[in-house]
Structure 1
């Protein structure tokens, strides 16, 4: 965690160049008639009728443990209850523009929809934005390094501004962008969350916490959450259902395996500390659905863990068959891994060269296909992991999208 905070500070210092203030685009007024046939994805209602249902296309959350949405005639309320222990619940009231807002509760935040433009401090949102077709509304991203060609091209042309916000965000730069909405990275550490600061700055924000979902499909459902702000529920529902069906077919394929390899997640954050996802994080469910098992089933944390001294890791995971590194970039090869972290030689997976990392498609220090697109493509990650753990069920893809084998040693 200290490393992440230090990186955030350095990124903020590197972002001293001013961001040009921009005037928000004008909203169009559209006559929709007595009953809209579909959600209004652009513009405002010009002929409001109190009895009309302005959201005929609706979404529901069946897999997410953190989200729920309720619909009313001209507004919808999204409730976010974090799976990490920050002891708060956030409620967002999304009102169709051109219609009157409801009476707000003390904890409600008002957002006019459809959102015209937005920025994000969380790269995991980018894959969903691209699938939903809202790249052209993206004003700010946390980094210049993006694995999605269409968004990378926008950054190169200066149409989308890198705000160098690390993960947790940069309040001042978010305010300077002048976007309708700023998606924040929601941290398990309350002091790192910037939505209270954004509120004081007058910036409308929404939390993004897909990474702490307990299941991969719960995480993938966050595409529906993003769609709510753009009235794109119908599109998001179709995208999610297609991916969920493929994921379920793969899960069933691996469900009957007899031998389940032991998998260790995480990475060495420093010489003496090991960081990994908690035992109730969606990454461990991915391992289980791929026909593996893990040593942290009794751990109730949905966020991340840090073990110091590292011997706590060895107590449980020294015998793991596979080490699956996540978040931080992996080593160039096994020799480099052994040189930089000699004690990791105690891990059976290192000795047997069964080390894999979620850093395929790397485009920058912390940018790769998994960071940008892993939220919305769990079926591809599951297929790759099944091929690693059970090659008798699936052949490994010629060019993995997410998971790279650290070269060196046995194939």
Structure 2
């Protein structure tokens, strides 16, 4: 039994009469209330957010209010009422009267993004996952095994959500990937619950990782989520300190690559910009306060960053030669001529999914460790790379 539910069951079993004046209460193994008392706090372990800015949780005895401030770019805040199973439906007014309600802990979840998968596995809750948008993009071996066994189905093959399939399956929650789609209203009208996960709109790497607490609010694992996030924060902070202690000037790098003729450069205010700064790197656009990517021409990139000795690319090439074959202009970069080209494609799944975009999003400590090992190898001797590899010629 996982810590959040265990803590609740122990709490309910051990409460004195002063804490539950309405009489004896109890919970089953799932954490559902068998004898409700309005005087009991059914969420004895509460999550607080220290880095995430796009989400809040408030607690109200037998239910909690989860609010995603921006569920997708430009979207208005969305709130969800998470009610402890076995408790009566709360009487709410105003905007919350019509807010989606979810009985927690949930038993089934459809995931629109592979970034949700490490949140579940880190909580020990892989069995909750019953649907994924695209099975081929999944890297995690355990999840792929559940897909192969028919325990997890694909519901949006080819990028199009099969509304009928979702509605028929009736998962407790369909968790979005932080984007909007016309199919979501149809699912809601049919009685399904669509809940936004927009961790990708967080500008702080640790803010993205802290969304494990959102998943824990659904699975009832608040205590375990706090411990996981505390360890990630501790490790991230320690690695950043090693980078600072390495001494010397920041290492000049060139991040990103071109897609259809446009170089997508992480802005300084983005989570990638923050990772690079913490790794002891500098690049010409580090002072940009934008939080997304800058769309630049190759000529603009070359003029300001073409002489950087290290290129951190997100291209899918397996060799430097493939990169140059894709666009001969890459061959003019100093990092290409010097052979110092690193790609975040070390861990590619059988279906072509990249673990950097799955586990790396919510494990910034692992990403930062790779970056520091690239830029300051003496600071992390014996480092085992999780996502990055140096491309051969």
- TM tier, smaller: 0.7 to 0.9
Structure 1 residues 237 and 348 mapped into 2: Cα distance closer, same or farther (>3 Å)?
Answer: same
Confirm or deny that 1:120 pairs with 2:149. Answer: no
CA distance in 2, matches of 1:96, 1:122: 26
Is 1:331 aligned with 2:323? no
Partner of 1:267: 257
Correspondence 1:237-252 to 2 at 5 A: 237-252=226-241
Choose the corresponding residue for 2:128, options 134, 137, 152: 137
Give the one of 342, 354, 366 matched to 1:368: 354
More helix by share: 2
Structure 1 distance, partners of 2:108, 2:176, is 15
Q: Which residue of 1 aligns with 2:392?
A: 407
Compared CA separation, residues 364 and 380, structure 1 to 2 (3 A): same
In the superposition, relative to structure 1, how do residues 38 and 303 fare at CA in structure 2: closer, same or farther (>3 Å)?
Answer: farther
Cα gap change, 1:197 to 1:185, in 2 (>3 Å): farther
2:25–2:33 contact (8 Å) kept in structure 1: no
CA spacing shift, 1:91–1:394, aligned 2, 3 Å = same
1:39–1:56 Cα contact (<8 Å) kept: no
Residues 186 and 193 in structure 1, CA contact (< 8 A), matched pair in contact too:
no
Distance, in Å, in 2 between the alignment partners of 1:55 and 1:40 is 15
Closer, same or farther: CA 85–128 of 1 in aligned 2, 3 Å: closer
What's the RMSD between the two structures over aligned residues? 2.8
Question: Is structure 2 residue 48 aligned with structure 1 residue 60?
Answer: yes
Q: Which runs of 5+ in 2 are unaligned?
A: 1-8
- Structure 2: distance between partners of 1:284 and 1:250: 16
Per the alignment, in what secondary structure is the counterpart of residue 78 of structure 1?
strand
- Provide TM-score, normalisation by structure 1: 0.82
Alignment of 1:335-354 (within 5 A): 335-354=321-340
CA distance in 2, matches of 1:319, 1:242: 37
**CA contact 1:330–1:406 (8 Å) conserved in 2:** no
Q: Is the 8 A contact 1:142 1:164 kept in 2?
A: yes
Between the aligned partners of 2:67 and 2:303, the Cα distance in structure 1 is 40
1:79 is matched with which residue?
67
Identify the residue that residue 5 of structure 2 maps to in structure 1: none
CA 1:373–1:316: 2 relative to 1, 3 Å: same
The 1:286–1:38 alpha-carbon spacing in structure 2 relative to 1, beyond 3 Å, is farther
CA distance in 2, matches of 1:356, 1:71: 45
* Residue 175 to residue 384, structure 1, CA distance change in 2 (3 Å): same
- Report Cα offsets for 1:33-92 as digits up to 9, x if no partner: 665999987253121111110000111110112122111111111222239751411212
3-state SS, counterpart of residue 223 of structure 2: helix
Aligned-partner Cα distance in 2 for 1:258–1:70:
45
Question: 2:386 aligns to what SS in structure 1?
Answer: coil
Superposed CA offset, 1:184-205 (max 9, x none): 1113xx5x57544432343212
Give yes or no for contact 1:175–1:201 (8 Å, CA) kept in 2: yes
Alpha-carbon offset, residue 364 of structure 1: 4.4
Deviation, 1:253, is: 1.4
Structure 1: gaps (5+ residues): 1-29
Residues in 2 aligned to 1:40 and 1:266: alpha-carbon distance in whole angstroms: 51
CA contact (8 A) 1:322 1:349 kept: yes
Distance 2:252 2:72 in 1: 26
Q: CA 1:349–1:200 in structure 2 vs 1: closer, same or farther (change >3 Å)?
A: farther
Q: CA separation of 1:199/1:325 partners in 2, compared to 1, >3 Å: closer, same or farther?
A: farther
Q: 1:84 to 1:158 in 2, by over 3 A?
A: closer
The alpha-carbon deviation at position 249 of structure 1 amounts to 0.9
Q: In 2, Cα distance between the equivalents of 1:125 and 1:135? A: 10
Residues of 2 paired with 1:235 and 1:283: CA distance? Answer: 27
Is the Cα–Cα contact under 8 Å of residues 121 and 168 in structure 1 kept in the other structure? no
Matched, 1:392 2:378: yes
Map of 1:358 onto structure 2? 344
- Return the offset for 1:323: 2.0
Aligned to 1:46: 34
Structure exhibiting the larger radius of gyration computed from Cα positions = 2
SS across alignment from 1:103: coil
2:171 equivalent to 1:185: no
SS in structure 1 of the partner of residue 358 of structure 2: helix
CA contact (8 A) 1:244 1:379 kept: yes
Match of 1:18 in 2: none
Correspondences of 1:169-248 after superposition (within 5 Å): 171-187=163-179, 192=181, 195-248=184-237
